[in-house]
Structure 1
Amino acid sequence: MAWWQILLITLYAGLQILDELQLYSGLNTPVGAGFIVGIIMGDLQTGLLIGASMQLMVLGVGTFGGASKIDATIGTVLATAFSVSIHGMSPQVAISSIAVPVATIMIQLDILARFTNTYFAHRIDHDIDNFNYKGIERNFLLGALPWSLSRAIPVFLALAFGRGLVQAIANALNGSWAWLGNGLALAGATLPAVGFAILLRYLPVKKHVAYLIMGFTITTLFTVLFTNIQTLGTGLAAASKGFTASFNGMPMLAIAMLGFALAILHYKRTIATAAPASATKQTVQKSSSSSNDEGEITDDEL
């Protein structure tokens, strides 16, 4: 791993948490991290595979208030970097052996960053009492340092000094501990399903079960249909050299657009149904208010 790759990945790790706190560009997500680190490491496919897997794993995981959660983004950063640079480490093994443990450990560093940030918060309170507006701005900006350093420092140390350890682990998982490596690969492949299960646990599935069945059926039909067409095209190309046409699989974007269209139809139908009900409710309230006003005794009448 080149020094400039370590530097760029470290800078990204420090900046992505600020994006999560204020900008919300989407590059701070696991799939965004896989995209960025994949480009830096020169293997975009591996980066997107790891990032998408981690993104699916945390679909149903959320925080409320000031709670901390597993940092799947930093887990994706290190898993992608090591999976590309370490010989013999598959993306699935990198997910289960690096991404998930790192994401869990980062909870403690996130708490440390929040705890350290209170120092600047108290300084801002002091500046407010003294009407020190420059101090408020300065300490507000300095408050970003604990957040950035809590991500940048661990990533730098891991990339700069942890490569030998990770290489030794990869060699062991491919050697005498191959049984464990196969288990980790299987676990890494099933993690996206766990994320889906958590998400479905909190979504109103019973209320919208028809859409769930429809989406599953459409996805299955299109996948089977276009997979068979692609297989047929590959067979024809192998049988005849003059056959140059290519058949691509059904892109998931098309399936997502169908889901988006159904969501729009459902939203419009919900709005159309809610509008008459709201108007009726307002009419009843006005009528009730008028009846109460008619029987009310004012001060003048007393």
Structure 2
Amino acid sequence: MGQKTSWPCSTKWWQILLLTLYAGYQILDELTIVSSAGSPVFAGLIAGLIMGDLQTGLFIGGSLQLTVLGVGTFGGASRIDANSGTVLATAFSVALKMDPLLAISTIAVPVAALMVQTDVLGRFTTTYFAHRIDKHVEDFNYKGIEVNYLLGALPWALSRALPVFLALTFGAGAVQSAVDFLETSLPWLTKGLTVAGGALPGVGFAILLRYLPVKKHFPYLIGGFVLTALLTTLFGYTSTLGTAVAGLSEDFTTKFNGLSILGIALIGFAIASLHYKKLIETPKVVAAVNPNDVEEIEDDEI
């Protein structure tokens, strides 16, 4: 019997196929359906399920989601493709047993930045079908409009699916060599990149706060930070105490969970709802406005 073909880094052929299909679909979902399936955290969920390590996938996806939290596009501008970066970082992290933080800094971020070029290529090639649609509009050819609209989705899908497929199929050896070199010859650089990967979500928050009206709602920012810090400390101490008691008594089976992100989100939602209700119930005072006066836009409200 002949030898079985082994795919790079224990990545099965069906895993490569599914990850490639999802990479092509996620950009179409982001552009049309907008079901959140085209987001880094969802990409981490899908990639984690396919690779058999949901925790790593969600960690990398969540970190990339926070990293691009304040990044957006305006008009036809391109931005870094954190979704494809999440897919590849999760796949290689699980297959090579890499530290997820190291995978974020060495794979996810560089890939996300490089994919800007394929995004531009995808936008450029779709103009061919756009011109064909314009021609069919003039001829009232509705069938031609539908066909070319659907064909225009192919360049978008390929702009993500093709790079992901090539990287998963042929790039695993290069990634493995780079990881081995970093861990053996440059351990100081590995530690630095790991720290950088952990700091990236903070960068995303900083970008987001830069564009939010923080000056106007500064009390809410302080209150949310203090409340989260207090609850996190309280839940952390309670969980530690429960673990200590469980170690002393076998009859103690109660489990104490940590502070849920959902709980924090609900607290924030409640405060935001109260603030919104107060705004709509407050009677608006109409004042005479000089036409020559121009209201100044604060820098954090642009």
Q: TM-score, normalised by structure 2?
A: 0.90
Amino acid of the residue matched to residue 153 of structure 2?
A
Residues in 2 aligned to 1:43 and 1:29: alpha-carbon distance in whole angstroms: 18
Amino acid of the residue matched to residue 60 of structure 1?
G
Aligned to 1:21: 31
Deviations 1:68-95 (A, max 9, x none): 00011111010011000013x1000000
Residues in 2 aligned to 1:179 and 1:255: alpha-carbon distance in whole angstroms: 36
Which residue of 97, 120, 125 corresponds with 1:116?
125
Aligned to 1:36: 46
Q: Does 1:139 align with 2:148?
A: yes
Aligned to 2:7: none
Amino acid of the residue matched to residue 100 of structure 1?
V
Residues in 1 aligned to 2:16 and 2:137: alpha-carbon distance in whole angstroms: 40
Residues in 2 aligned to 1:68 and 1:140: alpha-carbon distance in whole angstroms: 21
Amino acid of the residue matched to residue 125 of structure 1?
D
Which residue of 57, 61, 68 corresponds with 1:58?
68
Residues in 1 aligned to 2:261 and 2:139: alpha-carbon distance in whole angstroms: 57
Amino acid of the residue matched to residue 81 of structure 2?
D
Aligned to 2:184: 175
Q: CA deviation at 1:27?
A: 1.2
14-23 vs 169-178, greater mean Cα deviation: 169-178
Give the alignment's Cα RMSD to 1 decimal: 1.3
Residues in 2 aligned to 1:120 and 1:255: alpha-carbon distance in whole angstroms: 46
Q: CA deviation at 1:225?
A: 0.3
Q: Matched residue of 1:150: which SS?
A: helix
Misfit runs of 4+, over 4 Å = none
Aligned to 1:254: 263
Q: Matched residue of 1:54: which SS?
A: helix
Which residue of 168, 174, 177 corresponds with 1:159?
168
Q: Matched residue of 1:247: which SS?
A: coil
Deviations 1:196-246 (A, max 9, x none): 111111111110011100100110001000100000011111112222111
Aligned to 1:72: 82
Which residue of 261, 277, 283 corresponds with 2:284?
277
Amino acid of the residue matched to residue 116 of structure 1?
T
Residues in 1 aligned to 2:196 and 2:16: alpha-carbon distance in whole angstroms: 28
140-149 vs 238-247, greater mean Cα deviation: 238-247
More helix by share: 1
Aligned to 1:244: 253
* Structure 1 gap ranges (5+): 285-302
* Structure 2 gap ranges (5+): 1-10, 289-302
Residues in 1 aligned to 2:137 and 2:255: alpha-carbon distance in whole angstroms: 67
